[in-house]
Structure 1
Amino acid sequence: MIRRSRSLALGALAVALTATLAATLPASPADATGSRPPRTGFEESHGARWTTQPEEQRLLAAVDRAGPRAEVDRIGTTEQGRPVQLVRLGAPAPEKARDVRRGNSVLLICSQHGDEPSGREACLSTVRDLAFAEDRATERFLQRTSVLVVPTANPDGRAADTRGNSDGVDINRDHLALKTAEGRAMAAVIRDYRPDTIYDLHEYGPTVPYYMKDLLSLWPRNLNTADAVHREATSLSEDFVEPAVHRAGFSTGVYGIWTDPETGEPLKQVAGDGQERILRNTAGVKGSVGLLVETRVDALTDAERADPARNNRRRVTSQLAALDGAFSFLDRHRGRVEAATTAARLAGYADRGPVYLGGADNDPATDAQTLADPPCAYRLDATQFAQVKDELALHGVNWRKLGSGAVVPLRQPLRGLVPLLLDERADYHLTVAAHMNGCRGVVGGNP
């Protein structure tokens, strides 16, 4: 077997980080035969360029051949014909979705925005390191944790270095409507594997002097996120990601919040609401612990301005530091996370409590944004059902056929999602379905 340059300590990625921006990326040591694990184009160029798609494909092919720990699947195809891929990692790699559901699981979504490549580089090297590691700590971690990775969620956008996909669509605004091939692929993975944690890697442009930390993070703010899931998501951010990033010598903050440069007090919210179509919020509504992580893109020093590769290395290093914290969280909060996500999904069967069509955890919903007494189901006529059937299926929403249409009950695991998809008062509804009351005999379960 081939040794790697990063090993797990206490079940977390103990990344070989350095406090100096001039630090080099460590070379992977050779094994007894002189072979080396595959390296990314970013590593080979010492950060001078980002990994190309052919280089990514060669690395993933090597990972797929590495042994029983890793499997690579094609889960979608972009408009321009590029593959959207999923890497399944474990000891051994989970063969079926039910294998993931038996233990703790995390899904890493990398480079939804094609012009934000540092998270993708961190994901590719992490996939490689987990697949080729020999140490006992990594083996033990992967025996108890399934790691799912979409290394490049927006391949067309990455090829063009654009935020959107080849149609100009922001994929991170398509986790409700599912109009893009990329969004549909990710929705199917979330439906089938039901990951306990969904970790979304991005980059941002700062506003000096109010919004300029090295790395920002944010949990699901959507009010339909179960309380225990929300607590675990904020803990992931505040108790694990932030301290790990600080230990690596970087500063942290909350995404979307400007702060006073003197006192650190919040001044203004400029992004990061509870909008349900954004992945971290979709994750929370679906019962997963979600986290958005954003590293700062612009050069911080004269040395970085003179040498873009130095800036690139700092961006990737901060992403790796945050992942180090996330993996520590997965190991240490394993039981709490599984309890929170399981309870959140089972709570839908009770069909009790309000559903929120707006607001956020720091912005209370108004009466107009609150379904205090939601209908027990929504009724779709034949035309409406034909229009949204595929999207309901991709989300994993249960329905029952009724004549030529369908009934979608609220009594199901995705109770909080159903009105967001079908209620006329929801901001991003797919269609306007009729309210049903008196649902005796109406239960979930698609034919």
Structure 2
Amino acid sequence: MTPRALALGVLGAALTAPLLVAPAAADVRETPRTGFERSGGARWTTQPEEQELLARVDRDSPRVAVDRVGTTRRGRPLQLVRIGATTPPTAARTARGNSVLLLCTQHGDEPSGREACLSTVRDLAYTKDRRTLRFLERTSVLVVPTVNPDGRAAGTRGNADGTDINRDHIALRTAEARTVAALLRDYRPDTIHDLHEYGPTPPYYVKDLLALWPRNLNTAAAVQDEARTLSERYVRPSAAAAGFSTGIYGIWTDPVTGEPVRQVAGDGQERILRNTAGIKHSVGLLAETRTDPLTEEEKADPALNNRRRVHSQQAALTGLFDFVDQRRTRIEAATGLARLAGYADRGPVYLGGADNDPATPEETLEDPPCGYRLTRGQYAEVADELELHGVRSRADGDGVLVPLRQSLRDLVPLLLDERAAYHLTAADPANTC
């Protein structure tokens, strides 16, 4: 099993010829390689090497653009790679059409996803495969190769402030989470793939690759169904076909029976990206690969361990692209209808619970207010965050009204109701709007 054998080879339902393929062997010698690839997996790609590779593909490929979309506290760039069939897709085109967003290395000490993303960018930039180009005609590909470059440089989970970015997608206190929020607002990706790594707990939590969809109850049913389909029918089977064991993130299983034993993570809290993505009407998926050495050979040679971790991420991407190609119409129907549903302003809003943990009456707004009123002072404190989330508001007397009748209807109480776990401010419920 080689890196190129798994990179972007999208398996059909019958495991036929791959849809997305890497450049031919002759082309690979002429195209840039990551530091990880050049070292045979002995080390991770450095940040200067990442910048060199991105600059090269930006220069060489007319279908690729690399934009600086943010800056970390340490001054490192947050970059978005836009990939189309012939020219880079614009935000307007992406928001109107089908798109997939890869978010890589939110946690700085989880590098394998970043390597899979960098090789994906390179392969899509240089490929001449007709089926791949046809895919890009119908789906825009967006990639943030390193969401947390300060953490990657330091080898830490958090960013330069020690903040876990993947717990900041509601409050938006970090430059990194603010950048992601702006991308979700402006590009409206239909599918989001969030690449992570995890440490196992033998013998209950030991699979090579774990995946999980948005569990938050405010995710539209059709969006959640597509996300679960992505996990259970595409990403996990693709990893299994490549020789990896798979499971559901956050669930310990009995090593003999395979039955669930205990849930240790993977709840419905809205500040985690896979849940934020669902609330914002994207088909989101978390993919986690196992970090520790599995064999004596991997213990003796860290490069073997590193390659296995990256290969499992690439296998997950295989399933992702296959999913998008085969279910594009269903995905667009699910996300499109979800974005319109809020204008009807009907149904409960959930302040807690998950798809496997019913909300209590105290966590359920059965008859939500028509909006929330903020004082001018409150609005001044949270206006930037509301704008980054894409939440609409309007002047109302001496204050500001945030109506529920909008696309992000179910997000509004999570931001403004004092009973919500991660609310930005405690606004007054409005009975008339």
Q: Normalising TM by the smaller chain, what interval?
A: over 0.9
Q: Deviations over 1:32-66 (max 9, x none)?
A: xx961110000000000000000000000011112
Q: 1:180 aligns with which of 168, 174, 187?
A: 174
Partner-residue secondary structure (3-state), 1:374: coil
1:298-317 → structure 2 map (5 Å cutoff) = 298-317=292-311
Letter in 1 for 2:331: V
State the partner residue of 2:115: 121
Q: Is the counterpart of residue 39 in structure 1 residue 33 in structure 2?
A: yes
- Distance in 2 of aligned mates of 1:403 and 1:171: 36
- Distance in 2 of aligned mates of 1:188 and 1:83: 15
- Distance in 1 of aligned mates of 2:9 and 2:298: 30
1:162-181 → structure 2 map (5 Å cutoff) = 162-181=156-175
Partner-residue secondary structure (3-state), 2:354: coil
Q: Deviations over 1:165-207 (max 9, x none)?
A: 0100000000000000000001000000000011100000000
Contact conserved, 1:8 with 1:138, CA < 8 A, in 2?
no
State the partner residue of 1:153: 147
1:369-380 → structure 2 map (5 Å cutoff) = 369-380=363-374
Q: Is the counterpart of residue 385 in structure 1 residue 406 in structure 2?
A: no
Q: CA deviation at 1:405?
A: 2.4
State the partner residue of 1:352: 346
Q: Deviations over 1:381-433 (max 9, x none)?
A: 01100000000000000000124421000000000100000001100000000
Q: Is the counterpart of residue 327 in structure 1 residue 321 in structure 2?
A: yes
State the partner residue of 2:409: 415
Contact conserved, 2:237 with 2:319, CA < 8 A, in 1?
yes
- Distance in 1 of aligned mates of 2:8 and 2:229: 24
Listed as ranges, the gaps of 5+ residues in structure 2 are: none
Q: 1:281 aligns with which of 275, 278, 303?
A: 275
Q: Is the counterpart of residue 270 in structure 1 residue 264 in structure 2?
A: yes
Q: CA deviation at 1:101?
A: 2.3
Q: 2:335 aligns with which of 338, 341, 346?
A: 341
TM-score by length of 2: 0.95
Contact conserved, 1:123 with 1:151, CA < 8 A, in 2?
yes
- Distance in 1 of aligned mates of 2:86 and 2:166: 31
Q: CA deviation at 1:102?
A: 2.9
Contact conserved, 1:215 with 1:253, CA < 8 A, in 2?
yes
- Distance in 2 of aligned mates of 1:244 and 1:110: 19
State the partner residue of 2:388: 394
- Distance in 2 of aligned mates of 1:188 and 1:94: 18
RMSD: 1.6
State the partner residue of 1:366: 360
Q: Give the paired residue count.
A: 424
- Distance in 2 of aligned mates of 1:73 and 1:407: 35
Contact conserved, 1:7 with 1:138, CA < 8 A, in 2?
no
- Distance in 2 of aligned mates of 1:407 and 1:94: 38
- Distance in 2 of aligned mates of 1:94 and 1:195: 15
Question: Displaced runs of 4+ in structure 1, greater than 6 A?
Answer: none
Q: Is the counterpart of residue 195 in structure 1 residue 189 in structure 2?
A: yes
- Distance in 2 of aligned mates of 1:341 and 1:290: 11
Q: CA deviation at 1:69?
A: 1.1
TM-score by length of 1: 0.92
Q: CA deviation at 1:94?
A: 4.0
Could you tell which deviates more after superposition, 202-211 or 60-69? 60-69
State the partner residue of 2:221: 227
Q: Deviations over 1:229-272 (max 9, x none)?
A: 01000000000001100110000000000000000000000000
Contact conserved, 1:122 with 1:319, CA < 8 A, in 2?
yes
- Distance in 2 of aligned mates of 1:306 and 1:7: 29
Q: Is the counterpart of residue 290 in structure 1 residue 284 in structure 2?
A: yes
Q: CA deviation at 1:12?
A: 6.0
State the partner residue of 1:81: 75
Q: CA deviation at 1:30?
A: 3.2
Q: Is the counterpart of residue 29 in structure 1 residue 25 in structure 2?
A: yes
Letter in 2 for 1:82: R
State the partner residue of 2:95: 101
Letter in 1 for 2:148: N
- The 3 A distance-change label for structure 1 pair 28 and 166 is farther
- Distance in 2 of aligned mates of 1:310 and 1:156: 26
Letter in 2 for 1:304: E
- The 3 A distance-change label for structure 1 pair 266 and 426 is same
State the partner residue of 1:56: 50
Identity in percent: 71
Contact conserved, 2:95 with 2:186, CA < 8 A, in 1?
no
Listed as ranges, the gaps of 5+ residues in structure 1 are: 17-26, 440-447
Contact conserved, 2:214 with 2:227, CA < 8 A, in 1?
yes
Letter in 2 for 1:57: Q
